[in-house]
Amino acid sequence: MNLFDYKRPSSIADAVAAGAEPGAAYLAGGTNLLDLMKVGARKPDVLVDISRLPGLGEIETLQDGSVRIGALVRNSDLARNTAFAKAYPAVAEALLSGASAQLRNAATVGGNLMQQTRCLYFYDQQSRCNRRQPGAGCDAIGGETSKHAVLGWTNQCIATHPSDFCVALAALEAGVELEGPDGPRSVSVEEFYALPTEDAPGGADIRPGELVTAVTLPAGAARFAGHARYIKLRDRTSYAFAIVSAAAMADISDGVVQEIRIAIGGVAARPWRARSAEAALKGKAPSPELIGSAAEAALADASPSGDNAYKIELAKRLVHRAIEQALAGTPQTIPALPGSVFSAQAAGR
């Protein structure tokens, strides 16, 4: 690990000033950053410790009905907050399906958004990686690609975004609040992650010195609480990143889908909002055939980036299952195996 300086600012303004210095990196829970530093994928000159900044550790319901989640709220604290889990059960299920209990106790909401891809070529210093070194090339292409992208990829980058939390956030049209040298700004979770282009590898759209200060859920997002699920398929049920995941949330009245939100994880450089699948179901009484058509529509634009064509069929089936389980109703309690396809928790409200 390289030598680095350490700073612990006492205000957001001081943190942004320190974070704007060349070679600076923000440190909160450190569950991803420290791993990156150990393998040499990140080599900051200055660590700016924001873990004790005031005003970033609260979960607030605002006057307009929206919810603001401070960037330093721990993943486990958010998922286990009774009122939050009741209003946004798929978000809680997504959080509890990620990592291990020990890591969830340390990891923060803001850090979850900022975590890097788990592409092996990004971590391997002997491999070319456009994300780690723009213009270097991508050794993942033609390499071990079984878990790489099937949507939105280019020859610049075929890596996927690893977050579970962000998949549920994308479905709910959540926002990200940032503070930087040029002042505050807000973007949607979808806009926060740029897809690869022919000239750039994509990734988090964050400007030099900017600090994630909060995640916001819009007013009315809790209307999906009665029909919301998150499902994650992974190599093992604990402590593994998604091969494919899906969040589905519906507002149903008189047997008709008034509105539905569907997002897919593990398939692209950002959580993938499946709007064509939503359109196939909205305003209709769901049937097995209709759900199947929606799942097909969700992956209509998918193409393998290597030896991963199986992920397309896998994603269709997982989207199908997520829709079915969401329409059946949110469980009364979070399943014993949150997000797992092996959960035996019966649905019902």
What is each CA distance from 344 to 85, 98, 235, 338, in whole angstroms?
Answer: 19, 19, 18, 10
3-state class (DSSP) for residue 263: strand
Q: Is 5-52 a domain of CATH 3.30.530.20? A: no
Q: Rounded to the nearest 10 degrees, what angle do helices 310-328 and 288-298 cross at?
A: 140
Q: CB atoms < 10 A from the CB of 30, how many? A: 18
Q: Where are the domains of the chain?
A: 5-52, 225-328
Same topology between domain 5-52 and domain 225-328 = no
Per run of 10 residues, the mean pLDDT along the chain (length 349 residues) is: 92 98 97 96 97 97 97 98 98 96 97 98 97 97 97 98 98 98 97 97 96 98 98 92 98 97 98 98 98 98 98 98 97 93 61
pLDDT in the model for residue 346: 45
Quick one: tokens of 218? 């819009």
Spell out the CATH class of 225-328.
alpha beta
Listed in sequence order, the DSSP H helices in 97-252 are 101-106, 109-114, 120-123, 165-171, 189-192
Q: What is the pLDDT of residue 249?
A: 98
Between CA 83 and CA 58, with CA 330 as vertex, the angle to 5 degrees is 25
Q: What is the pLDDT of residue 347?
A: 43
Rounded Cα–Cα distance for residues 234 and 340 (Å): 8
- Which contiguous run of DSSP H or E holds residue 311? helix 310-328
Distances (CA, A) of 104 to 51, 92, 309, 315: 15, 12, 32, 26
Token pair belonging to 261: 């939100």
Confidence (pLDDT) at 348: 41
Q: Do residues 102 and 238 touch, judged by C-beta distance below 8 A?
A: no
User: Does pTM surpass 0.95?
Assistant: yes
